């Protein structure tokens, strides 16, 4: 049995993993795989290159395969009696409707408890059944956590914000009744542990409420136009939680005679909610081929393709049935993706834009989702995808018909990011936190140094003006190289950095390196410069303005070592899994401290030594910071942001200070000669290779100590001999020699 099989991994997957030379699970895999296989939500953070993608792809693939197999074998629950599944669920009881709720309203698997942790907006939902015709009905709602609550009755046309239109009647925790945005004093206020009774009298057309058994007067008369409409139990919450009893359990405060529990209403007076999901395969029907079981959301095309490649490697020996996976990303023919979707897909890996388009057009259905994965969640949120994630989550069922609930897996560079914590609080259910990063640190296998670019002392820029094409932020400035204005020094920094990149490449004879620039324009300019000065400095770019096919070809050329340098932005390089890279050059420091860790984490992986060199300007540099709608396309507004322009002054000395404070270290500084200090105790270091020697590094180490060791051995022998002689002298009758 392999190490992965001990976690419950299928032998077929374990065999594929073993062929990938994954002999033992990494720390993140050892923590995450059992948690996901066990059915829980997981929130994880780990260093790049630690097998994070495998930690969630592997168990998801296994569960999806097992589910497809069970479906083919007919192992699924079927609706009982003549009642159809309600809200896409195989249960036949009254409950809250997971398909008739606001995005941030969470509903438990029993459909009896709802919760919203949004402190700003109201989140509402209705029951999965309504009442019609005649009769008197009752249900109870218990406040189980402090917050703002409003319960009552509404029709299917009503806003979920109960009591704010003509179709809903509510009673709030502040002691006010509500209808059509009218909030009037009524009854008493209520809070945690209080039980609210909700009465509906369809015969007299009235609604009223009670608190802990104390019944209040009539709250509202039903609008005559609603007398023929189905009326549903309803609730709206703000940072609160409530539990509902529709009559399946004994009431804490039974209603007066004449009223019956909602769940005991005559069948001809009960209607199903129209807000329900399409048939689910486990409910006895056939699933739509374009209704996958897992969606893995990635911030970039390259990450999506990497995750898909992992899945395909893992499933090599999984046969009968075959799991169908698809990569859904922008920049490719959408018609081909739509055709593939309608032929059948089980796992989708994709980027936000294209996924949103296909969900909106119903080419991807979300009613069958079992796993919702946000990889590089901090990156997704920083791109402005919060609303999209909310919409997706709101459309996905929280419980599958076989009783399995939605599992969310969130991977982030750090679990302490405010937006990530907010997402976890609102969308995940008691997630397992796996934080293997803790305080950000630099691995021992990574040497990182800074080289200061000081145009006041290095005057070589005065002879470089025509050899380097810069970003053009000073194109409207009258620059005089004899008058060192901030603009002149800023332009000088841009010229010098290109020269320092070449100096670093030649100093370390770099055969392969990642070069990070801050903007796409900087990447293009550096590519042009390197290509022009030396045809052996082969390089390609990876950024958002390059066409997807070109990006893929460039990345592959770098992986295959057909080019030496990959020049990229932070967004394009996030999460790239390129093994054995020996060098990283930061032409410009990143805007955000965590991205520095991302960048230098590209080297020093798999126990191989790596070197990261950061070029840090000692003076402020004016750079592009596009706030225009075109995001920089054909933008020539070089005024500062505060003046309505698209530029800012960039302070790299300050940024490096923030990086050092965050890491709790001082990054070593080297001169233009770039003589990187190597600890003599590390042994010989070859970047890109494992350490060739571990130990003191002193010549003839054993020989130097040999005399001391011999002396210690002699002293020990004499001490032992002396001890034995003392014991002999103390033996009665022992011959101790001639008498004195």
Q: What is the CATH number of the domain that holds 487?
A: 3.40.50.300
Alpha helices in 84-166 (DSSP H): none
For residues 716 and 506, the model is more confident at 506
Q: How many residues does the chain have?
A: 740
Q: Are 304 and 298 in contact (CB under 8 A)?
A: yes
87 domain-assigned? no
For residue 154, is it within any domain?
A: yes
Residue tagged 């709602």 (tokens): 141
Is the pLDDT higher at 682 or at 724?
A: 724
Cβ contact 350:373 at 8 Å: no
The strand order across the sheet containing 539-542 reads 539-542, 565-568, 513-516, 583-586, 610-617, 446-453, 669-670
Strand partners, 669: 450
Mean pLDDT lowest among 67-81, 148-162, 584-598: 67-81
Collapsing DSSP to helix, strand or coil, 220 comes out as strand
Residue 692 has pLDDT above 50, yes or no: yes
Would you say residue 630 has pLDDT above 90?
no
Largest CA distance in the chain: 133
Query: Which of 407, 435, 463 delimits the end of a domain?
Result: 435
Gap between the Cα atoms of 651 and 618, Å rounded: 8
Does pLDDT of 637 surpass 50?
yes
For residue 277, is it within any domain? no
pLDDT of residue 575: 59
- pLDDT category, 257, cuts 50, 70, 90? very high
pLDDT at position 285 is 43
Let me know if residue 731 belongs to a domain: no
| Tokens of residue 441, six digits | 């640190």
Say if residue 563 is in the same domain as residue 613. Answer: yes
Q: Is the dihedral of CA 662, 663, 668, 671 positive or negative?
A: negative
Residues 241 and 360 in one domain: no
Q: What is the mean pLDDT of residues 685-711?
A: 57
pLDDT mean over 667-695: 70
Share the mean pLDDT of the chain: 84
**Same domain, yes or no: 405 and 456:** no
Taking the C-alpha atoms of residue 634 and residue 31, their distance in angstroms, rounded to an integer, is 48
Instruction: Give residue 319's pLDDT.
Output: 87
> What mean pLDDT is predicted for residues 91-111?
82
Q: Is 35 inside a domain boundary?
A: yes
Helix (H) or strand (E) holding 145: strand 136-145
Last residue of a domain, one of 677, 693, 708: 677
Residue 574 has a pLDDT of 65
What residues pair up with 113 in beta bridges, in sequence order?
243
Q: Dump pLDDT digits (tens) for 260-276.
A: 999 999 998 999 887 65
Place of tokens 């490449």: 505
Q: Are 457 and 425 in a shared domain?
A: no
CA atoms within 13 A on the CB side of 253: 18
pLDDT in tens, 593-608: 878 887 887 787 666 7
pLDDT in tens, 462-518: 887 567 889 999 988 887 777 889 999 999 999 999 999 999 999 999 999 999 999
d(CA 589, CA 643): 24
Same domain, 613 and 560: yes
- Residue 94 confidence (pLDDT): 94
User: Residue 125: which pLDDT band, with cuts at 50, 70 and 90?
Assistant: very high
Measured CA angle at 658 (ends 657, 662), to 5 deg: 120
Question: How far is 573 from 299, CA to CA, in rounded Å?
Answer: 11
> Could you tell me the two tokens for 546?
């390059």
> What angle (nearest 5°) sits at the alpha carbon of residue 61, between those of residues 37 and 285?
95
Q: What is the pLDDT of residue 288?
A: 73
Helix (H, G, I), strand (E, B) or coil at 646: coil
Rounded to whole angstroms, how far apart are CA atoms 680 and 500?
A: 27
Do 410 and 472 reside in the same domain of the chain? no
Question: Which pLDDT tens digit goes with each residue over 298-347?
Answer: 988 888 988 999 999 999 999 888 999 999 998 777 888 999 998 899 99
Q: What pLDDT does residue 723 have?
A: 62
Residue 170 in contact with residue 236, Cβ under 8 Å? yes
Does one domain contain both 401 and 469?
A: no
Helix axes 486-507, 520-533, angle to 10 degrees: 60
Q: What is the pLDDT of residue 6?
A: 84
* Residue where one domain finishes, among candidates 244, 272, 300: 272
Based on the domain organization, do 430 and 452 belong to the same domain? Answer: no
Rounded CA separation 173/190 (Å): 5
pLDDT classification of 577: cutoffs 50, 70, 90: low
The helix/strand/coil state of 76 is: coil
Average pLDDT rounded to a whole number, residues 94-109: 85
Sign of the CA dihedral running 727, 732, 734, 737: positive
Instruction: Check residues 436 and 139 and name the one with the higher pLDDT.
Output: 139
Residue-level pLDDT at 405: 81
CA–CA gap between residue 348 and residue 195 (Å, rounded)? 44
Q: Is the pLDDT of residue 651 over 90?
A: yes
Same domain, 459 and 409: no
Tell me whether residue 709 is in a domain.
no
Do residues 64 and 323 lie in contact, with contact meaning Cβ atoms separated by under 8 Å? yes
Does 425 score more than 60 pLDDT?
A: yes
Q: In this structure, what token pair is assigned to residue 257?
A: 């005679």
Q: What is the pLDDT of residue 211?
A: 97
Are both 21 and 68 inside the same structural domain?
yes
Question: 729 versus 546: which is more confidently predicted?
Answer: 546
Q: Which of the pair, 584 or 468, is modelled with greater confidence?
A: 584
Hey, is 508 helix, strand or coil?
A: coil
Burial class (CB in 10 A: 0-12, 13-18, 19+), 535: exposed
First vs last C-alpha separation in the chain = 78
Please tell me the total count of domains within the chain. 3
pLDDT band per the 50, 70, 90 thresholds, residue 529: very high
What pLDDT is recorded for position 234? 97
Q: Say whether both 60 and 108 belong to one domain.
A: no
- CATH number of the domain to which 137 belongs: 2.60.120.920
Residue 125 backbone phi and psi in degrees, to 5: -160, 165
Cis peptide before 321 (omega within 30 of 0): yes
CA distance readout (Å), 332 to 91, 150, 337, 733: 42, 48, 8, 103
* Over residues 683-712, mean pLDDT: 58
Tell me whether residue 670 is in a domain: yes
**Residue-by-residue DSSP string for 347-407:** EEEE-HHHHHHHHHTTSS--TT--EEEETTHHHHHHTT-HHHHHHHHHHS-SB-TTSPBPE
Q: What does the pLDDT read at residue 524?
A: 94
- Interatomic CA distance for residues 328 and 330, integer angstroms: 7
Q: How far apart are CA 675 and CA 667, in angstroms?
A: 14
691-695 contacts, C-beta under 8 A, 24 or more apart: 691/609
Q: In the predicted model, what is the mean pLDDT of residues 186-193?
A: 95
Q: Residue 362: which pLDDT band, with cuts at 50, 70 and 90?
A: confident
Claim to verify: residue 254 and residue 360 sit in the same structural domain: no
Q: Is residue 454 part of a domain?
A: yes
> What pLDDT is stored for residue 638 in this prediction?
92
State how far the Cα of 589 lies from the Cα of 600, in Å rounded to an integer: 11
| pLDDT confidence of residue 739 | 42
Asked if 96 and 116 touch (Cβ cutoff 8 Å), the reply is no
Specify which of 132-146, 377-391, 712-726 reaches the highest per-range mean pLDDT: 132-146
Identify the domain containing residue 378 by its residue range: 5-74+289-435
- Chain centroid, CA 74 distance in Å: 35
Spatial separation of the C-alpha atoms in residues 615 and 500, rounded to whole Å: 8
**Tell me, what's the pLDDT at 508?**
92
Position 698 pLDDT exceeds 80: no
Specify the pairing of strand 123-127 against strand 231-238. antiparallel
Instruction: Check whether 702 has a pLDDT greater than 60.
Output: no
Task: Quickly state the pLDDT bin for 438 (edges 50, 70, 90).
Answer: low
The answer, yes or no, to whether residue 83 has pLDDT greater than 50, is no
């Amino acid at each position: 049995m392999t190490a992965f099989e001990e976690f419950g991994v299928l032998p077929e997957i374990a065999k594929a993993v073993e062929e990938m030379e994954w002999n033992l699970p990494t720390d993140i895999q050892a923590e995450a795989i059992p948690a996901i296989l066990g059915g829980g939500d997981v929130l994880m953070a780990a260093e790049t290159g630690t097998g994070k993608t495998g930690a969630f792809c592997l168990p998801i693939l296994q569960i999806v395969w097992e589910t497809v197999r069970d479906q083919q074998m007919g192992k699924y629950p079927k609706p009982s009696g003549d009642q159809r599944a309600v809200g896409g669920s195989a249960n036949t009881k009254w409950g809250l409707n997971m398909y008739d709720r606001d995005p941030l309203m969470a509903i438990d698997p029993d459909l009896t408890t709802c919760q919203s942790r949004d402190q700003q907006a109201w989140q509402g939902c209705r029951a999965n059944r309504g009442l019609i015709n005649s009769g008197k009905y009752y249900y109870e709602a218990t406040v189980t956590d402090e917050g703002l609550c409003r319960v009552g009755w509404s029709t299917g046309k009503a806003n979920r914000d109960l009591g704010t239109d003509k179709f809903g009647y509510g009673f709030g925790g502040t002691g006010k009744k509500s209808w059509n945005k009218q909030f009037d004093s009524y009854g008493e206020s209520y809070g945690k542990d209080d039980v609210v009774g909700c009465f509906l009298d369809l015969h007299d057309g009235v609604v009223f409420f009670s608190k802990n058994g104390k019944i209040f007067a009539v709250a509202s008369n039903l609008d005559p136009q609603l007398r023929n409409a189905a009326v549903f139990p309803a609730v709206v919450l703000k940072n609160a939680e409530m539990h509902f009893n529709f009559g399946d359990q004994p009431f804490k405060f039974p209603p007066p005679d004449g009223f019956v529990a909602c769940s005991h209403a005559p069948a001809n007076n009960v209607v199903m909610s129209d807000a329900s999901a399409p048939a689910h395969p486990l409910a006895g029907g056939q699933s739509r081929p374009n209704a996958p079981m897992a969606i893995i959301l990635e911030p970039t095309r390259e990450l999506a393709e990497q995750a898909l490649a992992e899945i395909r490697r893992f499933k090599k020996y999984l046969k009968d049935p075959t799991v169908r996976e698809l990569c859904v990303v922008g920049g490719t023919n959408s018609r081909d993706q739509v055709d593939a979707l309608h032929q059948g897909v089980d796992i989708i890996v994709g980027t936000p834009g294209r996924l949103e388009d296909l969900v909106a057009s119903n080419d991807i259905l979300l009613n069958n989702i079992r796993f919702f994965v946000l990889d590089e969640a901090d990156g997704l949120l920083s791109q402005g995808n919060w609303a999209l994630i909310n919409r997706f989550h709101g459309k996905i069922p929280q419980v599958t018909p076989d009783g399995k609930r939605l599992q969310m897996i969130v991977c982030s560079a750090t679990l302490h990011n405010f937006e990530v914590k907010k997402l976890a609080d609102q969308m995940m259910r008691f997630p397992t936190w796996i934080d293997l990063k803790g305080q950000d640190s630099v691995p021992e296998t990574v040497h990182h140094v800074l080289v200061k670019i000081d145009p006041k002392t290095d005057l070589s820029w005065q002879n470089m003006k025509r050899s380097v094409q810069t970003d053009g932020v000073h194109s409207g400035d009258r620059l005089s190289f004899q008058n060192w204005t901030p603009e002149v020094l800023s332009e000088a920094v841009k010229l010098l950095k290109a020269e320092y990149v070449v100096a670093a490449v030649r100093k370390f004879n770099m055969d392969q390196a990642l070069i990070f620039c801050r903007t796409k324009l900087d990447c293009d300019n550096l590519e042009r410069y390197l290509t022009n000065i030396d045809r052996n400095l082969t390089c390609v770019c990876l950024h958002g303005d390059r066409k997807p096919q070109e990006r893929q070809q460039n990345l592959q050329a770098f992986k295959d070592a057909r080019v030496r340098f990959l020049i990229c932005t932070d967004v394009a390089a996030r999460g790239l899994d390129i093994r054995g890279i020996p060098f990283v050059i930061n032409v410009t420091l990143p805007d955000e401290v965590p991205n520095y860790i991302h960048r230098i984490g590209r080297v020093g992986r798999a126990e191989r030594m790596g070197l990261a060199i950061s070029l840090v300007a000692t003076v402020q540099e004016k750079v592009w910071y596009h706030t225009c709608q075109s995001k920089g396309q054909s933008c020539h507004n070089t005024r500062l942001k505060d003046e309505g322009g698209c530029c800012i002054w960039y302070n790299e000395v300050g940024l490096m200070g923030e990086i050092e404070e965050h890491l709790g270290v001082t990054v070593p500084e080297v001169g233009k000669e770039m003589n990187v200090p190597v600890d003599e105790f590390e042994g010989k270091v070859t970047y890109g290779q494992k350490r060739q020697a571990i130990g003191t590094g002193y010549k003839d180490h054993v020989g130097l100590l040999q005399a001391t060791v011999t002396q210690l051995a002699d002293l020990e022998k004499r001490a032992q001999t002396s001890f034995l002689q003392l014991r002999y002298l103390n033996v009665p009758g022992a011959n101790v020699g001639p008498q004195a």
